[in-house]
């Protein structure tokens, strides 16, 4: 933290930085690390405030310490953050206030946009699941004919997955599944007794159950220790802020690494209105910024602009960056900027109890920050082809004792017998929830709100147009049935099948809208995350994705960012930027 504080020196409006990085989360933090270590002098702009872990992290807080048991205080969701369903009392300050940061949607077509404007971004509370994509994902169109392939393949990005995993520290197993590629892992977090029962049941059905690959330090290497990261001590409160840095986040990892080079300037509370353009060259000149607190207007100048504000904020910025040279938005000559918006979906699955575990003594299972994962088992090949939908899904979940007996809400009764029943089943819950692939479709898109809605700083907001297709609905129905089948095979009782899909955005994996591709007429970026139209602009977050796969996207974002920074460095040496 001391090194980051030193990087918060005044930013100069007169200086021309080698690179301006917009965003301090997964991609922005990694870009800062990679470029400063290559000798670039960078300015990192974050729209939200700086973090003080002693004040803002609540790693060791428990629900019983809160008047509202860690949930929202009455009326808070309606008046401040009504969309941030993932937050609670101990972490709500990590998220934006929707009253200050509105957006609009079509009637009956909701989108839940969960955002974090704070130094570190969503890495402060992300789920830490770190999966590689395979050519089943990168080359999906070649297999089923829908949409287009990515302009890269697995072999091309594999070395950057290696680098990302080595830096952030990923614990897991090498499971030997071609469609879920292995990496180089720290020791995995062990499965619980209930997880082992689920594993046996899943394998009896011919599917796989593996230990999740999570960005958690089960061992500490020298480069982790150098920046003050410590081994996970299984407190189970990752989403409230990890004070020891065991979970990867940019605040405890990439930003300190950039800061110690002496080449990073970090400016919090800096909301970027638009990217400025040199009218003579058509290239990006810098950025126009409004200070979140003082509302002062400032312009910063840079040789290169790295857009890493998260998928939709980055797209909003590009759409708002209009000029004579770019009337439809910066880098939008193709007209596809804002198009092909996707999110993963969940909501479908099953839950119940494992009777063989009922009534046992509680043990420390809620401290483990991982559960189980059932990798995709549909549409891998001709043998596993499903007749009603394309692509596939996996399951997250597990069987473990939590810190709070959530099953009590569904348990009937009152008094002594009620307490007895709650205690009996509290130690035996089991659940599976879906993480599924949404198809990338042109008709799912964002635009600048046509009715002139603006945020608290007068910046035009997005209108989001999105809905699931029949492909997703068929997949959701199959996932609910498959989850129920696994629990039945495991011997679970009181099984409840859930078949209500989450609204787009709720899984917080929004992707696409500035896709990469080889053809400038049908894509926004090239295969190195560089704008086809504006050579000194790179978009390195999830906006660059061509398809969603069904795995969590952050590791791929990190790998693509490392690769983009390497390419950018070489292109600048050649004088091409």
* Residue-wise pLDDT tens digits, 379-396: 999 999 999 999 999 999
Residues 401 and 431: their CA atoms lie apart, in Å, by 12
Burial class (CB in 10 A: 0-12, 13-18, 19+), 391: buried
If you average pLDDT over residues 30-57, what whole number do you get?
A: 94
Residue with token string 């949930």: 71
Half-sphere exposure of 405 (CA within 13 A, CB side): 16
Per-residue confidence (pLDDT) for residue 76, from 0 to 100: 57
Query: Distance of CA 334 to CAs 40, 278, 329, 337, Å?
Result: 31, 21, 10, 7
Where residue 56 sits, what CATH number does that domain have? Answer: 3.50.50.60
Per-residue confidence (pLDDT) for residue 320, from 0 to 100: 98
Per-residue confidence (pLDDT) for residue 153, from 0 to 100: 98
- Burial code (b: 16+ CB inside 10 Å, e: under 16) for 488-498 equals ebbebeeeeeb
**DSSP E strand stretches across 77-163:** 104-105
If you average pLDDT over residues 443-462, what whole number do you get?
A: 98
361 occurs within a structural domain: no
For 287, the domain range is: 2-92+117-126+263-343+511-548+557-573
Residues 416 and 326: their CA atoms lie apart, in Å, by 70
Is the Cβ–Cβ distance between 148 and 571 less than 8 Å? no
- Is residue 77 over pLDDT 90? no
Residue with token string 């081994």: 231
348 alpha carbon, distance to own chain's centre: 20
Q: What is the pLDDT of residues 217-246, one digit of tens each?
A: 999 999 999 988 999 999 888 888 888 899
Q: What is the pLDDT of residues 321-373, one digit of tens each?
A: 999 999 999 999 999 999 999 999 999 999 999 999 999 988 888 778 889 99
pTM of the model: 0.95
Within 263-384, residue ranges assigned H as helices are 311-320
If you average pLDDT over residues 245-264, what whole number do you get?
A: 96
- Containing 225, the helix (H) or strand (E) segment is helix 222-226
More confident residue, 449 or 280: 449
Per-residue confidence (pLDDT) for residue 86, from 0 to 100: 58
360 occurs within a structural domain: no
- Is residue 80 over pLDDT 80? no
Residues 555 and 169: their CA atoms lie apart, in Å, by 11
29 occurs within a structural domain: yes
Per-residue confidence (pLDDT) for residue 87, from 0 to 100: 62
- Is residue 70 over pLDDT 60? no
Q: In what order do the strands lie in the sheet with 537-539?
A: 264-267, 42-45, 19-22, 305-307, 537-539
Is the Cβ–Cβ distance between 400 and 307 less than 8 Å? no
Q: What is the pLDDT of residues 492-548, one digit of tens each?
A: 999 999 999 999 999 999 999 999 999 999 999 999 999 999 999 999 999 999 999
pLDDT level of residue 89 (50, 70, 90 thresholds): confident
pLDDT level of residue 130 (50, 70, 90 thresholds): very high
More confident residue, 87 or 311: 311
Both structure tokens of 112: 């839940």
21 occurs within a structural domain: yes
349 occurs within a structural domain: no
Both structure tokens of 291: 């200070």
pLDDT level of residue 82 (50, 70, 90 thresholds): very low
30 occurs within a structural domain: yes
Q: pLDDT over 70 for what percent of the chain? A: 96
Per-residue confidence (pLDDT) for residue 541, from 0 to 100: 98
If you average pLDDT over residues 51-65, what whole number do you get?
A: 78
- Is residue 85 over pLDDT 60? no
369 occurs within a structural domain: no
If you average pLDDT over residues 402-418, what whole number do you get?
A: 83
149 occurs within a structural domain: no
Please enumerate, as own/partner, the contacts of 288-295 that have beta carbons within 8 Å and a separation of 24 or more.
289/45, 290/457, 290/458, 290/459, 292/47, 292/48, 292/49, 292/457, 293/269, 295/457
Compute how many other C-beta atoms are within 10 angstroms of the C-beta atom of residue 387. Answer: 5
Tally of domains within the chain: 1
Average pLDDT of every residue of the chain = 93
């Amino acid at each position: 933290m001391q090194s980051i504080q030193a990087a918060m020196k005044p930013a100069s409006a007169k200086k021309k930085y080698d690179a301006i990085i917009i965003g301090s989360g997964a991609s922005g933090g990694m870009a800062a690390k990679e470029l400063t270590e290559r000798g670039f002098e960078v300015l990192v702009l974050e729209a939200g405030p700086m973090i003080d872990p002693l004040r803002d992290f609540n790693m060791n807080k428990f629900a019983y310490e809160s008047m509202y048991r860690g949930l929202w205080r009455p009326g808070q969701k309606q008046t401040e953050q009504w969309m941030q369903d993932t937050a609670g009392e101990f972490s709500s300050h990590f998220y934006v206030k929707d009253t200050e940061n509105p957006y609009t949607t079509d009637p009956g077509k909701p989108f839940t946009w969960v955002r974090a404007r704070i130094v570190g971004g969503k890495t402060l509370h992300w789920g830490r699941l770190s999966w590689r994509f395979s050519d089943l994902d990168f080359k999906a169109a070649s297999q089923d004919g829908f949409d287009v392939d990515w302009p890269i393949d697995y072999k091309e990005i594999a070395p950057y997955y290696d680098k990302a995993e080595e830096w952030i520290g990923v614990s897991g197993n090498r499971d030997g599944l071609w469609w879920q590629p292995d990496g180089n892992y720290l020791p995995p977090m062990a499965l619980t007794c209930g997880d082992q029962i689920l594993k046996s049941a899943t394998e009896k059905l011919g599917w796989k159950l593996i230990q999740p690959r999570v960005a958690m330090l089960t061992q500490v290497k020298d480069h982790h220790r150098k920046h003050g990261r410590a081994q996970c001590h299984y407190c189970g409160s990752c989403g409230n802020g990890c004070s020891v840095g065991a979970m990867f986040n940019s605040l405890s990892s990439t930003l300190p690494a950039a800061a110690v080079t002496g080449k990073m300037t970090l400016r919090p509370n800096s909301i970027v209105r638009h990217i400025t353009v040199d009218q003579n060259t058509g290239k990006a000149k810098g950025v126009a910024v409004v200070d979140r607190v003082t509302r002062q207007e400032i312009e910063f100048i840079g040789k290169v602009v790295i857009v890493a504000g998260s998928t939709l904020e980055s797209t909003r910025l590009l759409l708002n960056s209009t000029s004579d040279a770019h009337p439809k938005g910066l880098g939008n000559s193709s007209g596809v900027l804002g198009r092909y918006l996707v999110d993963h979906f969940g909501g479908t699955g099953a839950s119940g109890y494992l009777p063989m575990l009922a009534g046992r003594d509680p043990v420390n299972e809620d401290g483990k920050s991982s559960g189980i994962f059932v990798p995709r088992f549909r549409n891998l090949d001709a043998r596993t082809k499903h007749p009603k939908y394309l692509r596939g899904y996996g399951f997250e979940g597990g069987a473990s004792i939590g810190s709070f007996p959530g099953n009590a809400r569904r348990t009937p009764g009152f008094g002594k017998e009620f307490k007895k029943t709650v205690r009996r089943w509290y130690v035996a819950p089991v659940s599976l929830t879906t993480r599924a692939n949404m198809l990338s479709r042109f008709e799912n898109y964002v635009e600048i709100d046509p009715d002139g809605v603006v945020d608290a700083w007068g910046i035009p907001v997005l209108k989001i147009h999105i809905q699931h297709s029949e492909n997703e609905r068929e997949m959701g129905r199959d996932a609910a049935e498959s989850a129920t089948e696994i629990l039945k095979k495991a011997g679970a009782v009181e099984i409840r099948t859930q078949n209500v899909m989450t609204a787009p955005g709720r899984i917080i994996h929004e992707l696409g809208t500035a896709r990469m591709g080889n053809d400038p007429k049908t894509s926004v970026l090239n295969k190195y995350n560089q704008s086809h139209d504006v050579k000194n602009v790179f978009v390195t977050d999830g906006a660059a994705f061509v398809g969603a796969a069904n795995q969590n996207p952050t590791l791929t974002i990190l790998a693509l960012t490392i690769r983009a920074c390497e390419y950018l460095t070489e292109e600048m040496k050649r004088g091409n930027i």
